[in-house]
């Protein structure tokens, strides 16, 4: 092993170990033991592999395996796990964090309670407020442990007032906002501005023995269900926390009327959109390929170059241009035709528009692969059939098309899978719209992937990540099943070779 190789290996391992030590220290400080053990074991394994002369093959496999885990296996596993939780807006934290948030939210000022003006001060690392009663009296020093009397109106010796610049820092503002100074009567002081504090009281409290929230006024425990606490009147409290819900997200697709109705409508349109997109692009692409494959057509290269222009332009840009061209009031299409067709604002016309735009984007690809497939078919086969009296129609249907499908079938299946999840083709053109009466989420042109996106981010009821990932898994099994069945069917074509 030469010096350069040794140096590069040492530099690589030094970077890996330094990063590992930094991550290990972070995990240790937050007491996250399982990832810490895995990290240390993985680091030891990498060091052993790259220092041992008996593990040459592993030296090349390890980097690829690591990237496979990070970019493929982990996202898939995380998606699968998320589908079995209630992870959503309002359910994205742990139970402890939710309880802490609820305790801070459920407070109210005490009627005729004490009011103070304050100065933020510190003594080394210790931070506190120097509080002066609004109605006169002795000043006090207060922090999260309680209050202590101060016999004069001046800041005690040793304490230093925070400067205006220091008060503006995020750490000090966060501390000041969260600070609750307990009082002997069970209430607490809390800042309501940068210079004043008032006496507040908690409406709820946490009973560590019962592991439950308690309503202070009545002393009753608050109901806990589905990752949320509920007030005594039945009102749900926010935030909640993430819990395991099993197959609830999957069963909601068929049992929840709000999801079920639009889901099956969207599912049917998704199949129609994918199938029609494949058929129309294939038919047009093949027709053009057959036409330009005829030696009697002049300028074949020019025509072929012109026909692939839509394929050369970025798809998202073409879709946005078409959205402008199809505008109901100002679009070039209506102005050129002298019509007032609601291309994007009527459910039927919007579906037609998505298919036409996808035809524009997809036919060059089908044209290219069809041209290649046609040119790979031996000319002798067509000539022999014509000599036997076969017409051009028979030559195409009995010879060229079956041979074409041998090559094209996998590509058509791939095109179906692509269009089944063609998010950009729908969302950039119509946004999934126009809106439908049966759903506040799914529009007339939404396919499953755009419907899932809206559920996750744009539903108006908060992001529903658990439900969206469940639908993503359903989409995967649908596409996988259709693809597997299609590949099985296309095996019959292999006998044509």
Q: What is the CATH number of domain 107-202?
A: 2.40.430.10
d(CA 490, CA 405): 9
Residue 493: per-residue pLDDT:
56
Q: Give percent above pLDDT 70 in the chain.
A: 97
Q: Which residues of 43-195 form beta strands (DSSP E)?
A: 107-109, 115-123, 126-133, 139-143, 146-150, 160-161, 181-182, 188-191
Residue 377: per-residue pLDDT:
83
Comparing 111-115, 383-387, 447-451, 462-466, which segment has the lowest mean pLDDT?
383-387
Residue 399: per-residue pLDDT:
84
Contact 344, 430 (CB under 8 A): yes
d(CA 313, CA 319): 10
> Quick one: angle between helices 74-82 and 465-490, nearest 10?
120
Mean pLDDT of 392-400: 84
The answer for 136, left when phi > 0, alpha when psi is -120 to 50, beta otherwise, is left
pTM: predicted TM-score of the whole model, two decimal places: 0.78
d(CA 58, CA 49): 7
Q: Give percent above pLDDT 90 in the chain.
A: 51
d(CA 321, CA 446): 20
Longest CA span, the chain: 118
The CATH label, of 3.90.1210.10, 1.10.3720.10, 2.40.40.20, 3.20.20.140, for the domain at 256-496 is: 1.10.3720.10
Residue 271: per-residue pLDDT:
96
Residue 58: per-residue pLDDT:
80
Model confidence at 459: pLDDT above 80: no
Q: What is the pLDDT of residues 39-71, one digit of tens each?
A: 899 898 888 888 887 777 787 788 888 888 888
Domain ranges of the chain: 3-82, 107-202, 256-496
Residue 495: per-residue pLDDT:
57
Model confidence at 299: pLDDT above 90: no
Model confidence at 318: pLDDT above 80: yes
Model confidence at 24: pLDDT above 60: yes
Q: Which residue has the higher pLDDT, 218 or 388?
A: 218
CA angle centred on 472, ends 468 and 476, rounded to 5°: 170
What 3-state class would DSSP assign to 330?
coil
Contact 325, 341 (CB under 8 A): no
Q: What is the pLDDT of residues 159-205, one digit of tens each?
A: 999 988 888 899 999 999 889 999 988 899 999 888 899 999 999 99
Q: What is the pLDDT of residues 112-148, one digit of tens each?
A: 888 999 999 999 889 999 999 988 778 899 999 999 8
pLDDT band of residue 345 (cuts 50, 70, 90) is very high
Q: What is the pLDDT of residues 422-449, one digit of tens each?
A: 999 999 999 999 988 878 888 999 999 9
| DSSP per residue, 244-274 | B-TTHHHHHHHH-HHHHHHHHHHHHHHHHHH
Residue 494: per-residue pLDDT:
57
Residue 110: per-residue pLDDT:
93
Question: Which phi and psi angles does 161 have, rounded to 5°?
Answer: -75, 135
Model confidence at 2: pLDDT above 80: no
Mean pLDDT of 322-345: 91
Q: Can you give 373-408 as a three-state secondary structure string?
A: HHHCCCHHHHHHHHHCCCCHHHHHHHHHHHHHHHHH
Distances in Å between the alpha carbon of 427 and those of 344, 361, 452, 465? 12, 15, 12, 19
Does 256-496 match 107-202 at the fold level? no
pLDDT band of residue 216 (cuts 50, 70, 90) is very high
Which of 37, 51, 57 shows the shortest CA–CA distance to 5?
Answer: 51
Q: What is the pLDDT of residues 77-101, one digit of tens each?
A: 999 999 999 999 889 999 999 999 9
Model confidence at 491: pLDDT above 80: no
Model confidence at 496: pLDDT above 70: no
Mean pLDDT of 347-358: 96
- Kindly compute the dihedral angle of the four CA atoms of residues 73, 78, 81, 83, in this order, to the nearest 10 degrees: -110
Contact 454, 423 (CB under 8 A): no
Considering the chain, what is the average pLDDT of its residues?
89
Distances in Å between the alpha carbon of 368 and those of 4, 282, 364, 401, 476? 48, 11, 6, 16, 28
Give 244's strand partners.
Answer: 85
Q: For the beta carbon of residue 274, count every other beta carbon within 10 angstroms.
A: 23
Contact 134, 117 (CB under 8 A): yes
Q: What is the pLDDT of residues 248-286, one digit of tens each?
A: 999 988 888 878 888 999 999 999 999 999 999 999 999
d(CA 454, CA 447): 11
How many Cα neighbours within 13 Å face the side chain of 390? 17
């Amino acid at each position: 092993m030469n010096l350069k190789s040794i140096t590069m290996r040492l530099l690589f391992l030094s970077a890996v170990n330094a990063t590992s030590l930094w991550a290990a220290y972070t995990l240790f400080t937050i007491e996250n033991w399982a990832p810490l053990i895995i990290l240390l074991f993985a680091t030891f394994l990498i060091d052993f592999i790259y220092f041992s002369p008996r593990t040459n093959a592993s030296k090349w496999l390890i980097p690829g395996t690591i990237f496979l885990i990070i970019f493929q296996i982990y996202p898939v596993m995380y998606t699968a796990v998320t589908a079995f939780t209630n992870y959503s807006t309002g359910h994205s934290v742990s139970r402890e964090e939710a309880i802490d948030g609820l305790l801070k939210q459920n407070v109210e000022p005490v009627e005729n309670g004490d009011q103070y003006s304050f100065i933020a001060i510190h003594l080394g690392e210790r931070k506190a407020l120097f509080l002066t009663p609004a109605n006169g009296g002795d000043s006090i020093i207060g922090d999260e442990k309680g209050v202590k009397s101060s016999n004069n109106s001046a800041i005690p010796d040793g304490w230093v007032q925070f400067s205006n610049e220091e008060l503006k820092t995020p750490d000090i503002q966060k501390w000041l906002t969260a600070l609750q100074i307990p009082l002997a009567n069970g209430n607490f002081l809390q800042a309501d501005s940068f210079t004043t504090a008032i006496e507040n009281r908690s409406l709820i409290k946490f009973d560590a023995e019962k592991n439950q929230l308690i309503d202070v006024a009545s002393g009753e425990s608050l109901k806990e269900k589905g990752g949320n606490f509920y007030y005594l009147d039945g009102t749900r409290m926010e935030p909640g926390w993430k819990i395991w819900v099993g197959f609830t997200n999957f069963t909601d697709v068929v049992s929840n009327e709000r999801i079920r109705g639009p889901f099956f409508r969207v599912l049917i349109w998704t199949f129609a959109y994918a199938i029609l997109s494949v058929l129309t692009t294939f038919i047009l692409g093949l027709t053009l390929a057959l036409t330009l494959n005829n030696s009697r057509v002049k300028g074949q290269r020019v025509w072929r170059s012109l026909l692939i222009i839509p394929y050369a332009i970025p798809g998202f840009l073409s879709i946005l241009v078409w959205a402008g061209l199809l505008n109901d009031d100002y679009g070039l299409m209506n102005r050129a035709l002298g019509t007032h067709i609601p291309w994007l604002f009527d459910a039927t016309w919007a579906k037609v528009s998505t298919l036409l735009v996808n035809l524009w984007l997809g036919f060059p690809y089908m044209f290219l692969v069809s041209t290649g497939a046609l040119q790979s078919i031996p000319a002798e086969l067509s000539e022999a059939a014509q000599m036997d009296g076969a017409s051009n129609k028979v030559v195409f249907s009995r010879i060229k098309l079956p041979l074409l499908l041998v090559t094209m079938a996998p590509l058509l299946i791939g095109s179906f899978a692509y269009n089944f999840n063609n998010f950009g083709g729908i969302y950039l053109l119509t946004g999934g719209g126009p809106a439908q009466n049966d759903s506040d989420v799914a529009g007339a042109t939404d396919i499953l992937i755009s419907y899932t996106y809206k559920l996750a981010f744009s539903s108006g009821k908060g992001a529903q990540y658990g439900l969206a990932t469940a639908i993503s898994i359903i989409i995967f099994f649908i596409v996988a099943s259709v693809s597997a069945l299609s590949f099985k069917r296309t095996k019959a074509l292999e006998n044509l070779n």
